[in-house]
Structure 1
Amino acid sequence: MLIREATARDWPAIWPFFHEIVAAGETFTYPLDLGREQGRDWWLLASPNRTVVAVDDAGTVLGTAKMNNNHLGNGAHIASASYMVDPAHSGRGVGRALCQYSLDWARAAGFRRMQFNAVVETNAHAVRLYRSLGFEVLGTLPEGFRHPTEGYVGLHIMHRAL
């Protein structure tokens, strides 16, 4: 698996699973009807932030991550990131590789910590992955997320030092 900078040419490969994940409404706080162009604008970040794709040997996009400063001004030393793995390629270590890549990117860019603002507590796979990489739950906003089948569930704020 290769992780490389994403370009606008990657969007047609990202969009189908991005749209599937967002429309499912189980893990992201994005509008369920987020359109293709607005989704692209939200996901493909300009420098100094970064968006990457994980690809296999054939060049197939397996997943993607966006990495950015979480705050501005005197909080600009805190990074954040978001990840999406094509469900057709889940369970192959793509999410772990993207998360580790983002941690390495943030450290090299001079950030001191990484913070995730809204990890849906019922997203057990992501919570388990983040914990295994050293993230801690700082707190949970009760009923901060309206899950389509579980109802109102909490949103974790997670962080780790870099």
Structure 2
Amino acid sequence: MSSAYGAIARPLSAGSLGSVLPRHATLRQQPTEQQNGHTNGHSTQDQNNQATLFALSKAPSSTVTHFTLSASTHTTLVSAMHKVFNTEVERGDTYPQEFPLDEEQFTNYFLGGDGFVLIKGDYKDAEGVESRGKAEEWDKDLLGFFYVKPNFPICNGGFMVNPRHRGLGLGGIMGKAFLKVVPLIGYKASMFNLVFESNVASIKLWRRLGFKEIGRIPNAGRLRGQGELGGDAKEGYVDAIQFYWDFESMPVPVEYGA
């Protein structure tokens, strides 16, 4: 795998991802407002409030697994992820890319390491996830996705929640899943190098899950949606916080299990 420090090999697996994937979770329910101004207990989504996490491979594997989707068979799913990511880049509060990525750039960026995708529904295995003809057909079911990549060579992660489905607890679902899959991939620790202070939701999440806050980098990134650099430019420099988890000294809480 490629990193800012050159090519870094993926570590030897410490276990099978099949022991924790597919991973199932129940989405947080949101009350809906009734005409009289009161609320009821029904979800604003449809009645299916289950979600399933799969691994997502860039290329088809010679060994078919029950927990892995392939970008080659679910091309429109990757296209839907690409669209969600570029929308976040345009918003300019969380990722440092100054311009939207094209299809190849996105695929290399998010699927260059180990990729994972959270889909609405209660699936037993990857074969149950049907391919779809258009990216738009994933709008109601693509909940979020994240990657795990080498990082000096411990690991890093990048997370994305579909803005259409915010408020369902997706960050917590993926954050806990990250802590379960990373040791199985073989990494001993994880560090998020640049969690920009404008990314308020992520900062709250990593603190709540128990990550160590180990540093702050002043003016670490120039984000499209922050500050003024002069003229009509909206970009501004933002501090970043670093979060760390040592899997050898920080046991993952039992309640984070599948």
Distance 2:111 2:155 in 1: 16
Q: Give the Å deviation of 1:142.
A: 0.7
Residue 82 (structure 1) aligned to one of 133, 158, 183: 158
Larger Cα Rg: Structure 1 or Structure 2?
Answer: 2
Residue 43 of structure 1 and its aligned partner are, at CA, apart by 0.8
Structure 1: distance between partners of 2:156 and 2:246: 12
Of 191, 201, 208, 1:132 maps to 208
Q: CA deviation at 1:137?
A: 2.0
Deviations 1:34-86 (A, max 9, x none): 222211211113xxx41011001186211001012212xxxx3x221110010
Distance 2:117 2:100 in 1: 23
Matched residue, 2:226: 149
Q: 1:41 maps to what in 2?
A: 108
1:55 maps onto 2:105 in alignment: no
Q: Which amino acid aligns with 1:2?
A: T
> Residue 54 of structure 2 aligns to which amino acid in structure 1?
R
**Aligned counterpart for 2:146 among listed residues 65, 72, 91:** 65
Deviates more, 1:101-110 or 1:115-124: 101-110
Distance 1:15 1:56, change over 3 A: same
> 3-state SS of the aligned residue for 2:191?
strand
Q: Is the 2:55–2:114 contact (alpha carbons within 8 Å) kept by the matching residues of 1?
A: yes
Q: 1:153 and 1:144 mapped to 2: Cα distance?
A: 6
**Superposed displacement of residue 22, structure 1:** 1.5
What is the SS of the residue equivalent to 2:93? coil
User: Please, what TM-score do these two structures have when normalized by structure 1?
Assistant: 0.86
Q: What is the aligned partner in structure 1 of residue 196 from structure 2?
A: 120
Task: Give the deviation of 1:18 after TM superposition.
Answer: 1.0
Alpha carbons 1:69, 1:79 under 8 Å: kept = yes
Aligned counterparts of 2:238 and 2:213: Cα–Cα separation in 1: 15
Residue identity matched to 1:142:
P
Comparing both structures, which one devotes a greater share of its residues to strand? 1
Q: 1: CA distance between counterparts of 2:178 and 2:159?
A: 10
1:21-40 CA-partner distances (Å, limit 9, x unpaired): 12222101223232222112
Q: What percent of counterpart residues are identical? A: 26
Moved more, 145-154 or 34-43: 145-154
Structure (1/2) with the larger helix percentage: 1
Specify the alignment match of 1:159 in structure 2: 244
RMSD (Å), alpha carbons: 1.7
Deviation string 1:72-118 (CA, Å, 9 cap, x unpaired) is: xxxx3x22111001000111111211111111111223322110011
Unaligned runs of 5+ in 2: 1-50, 57-69, 123-128, 130-140, 228-235, 248-258
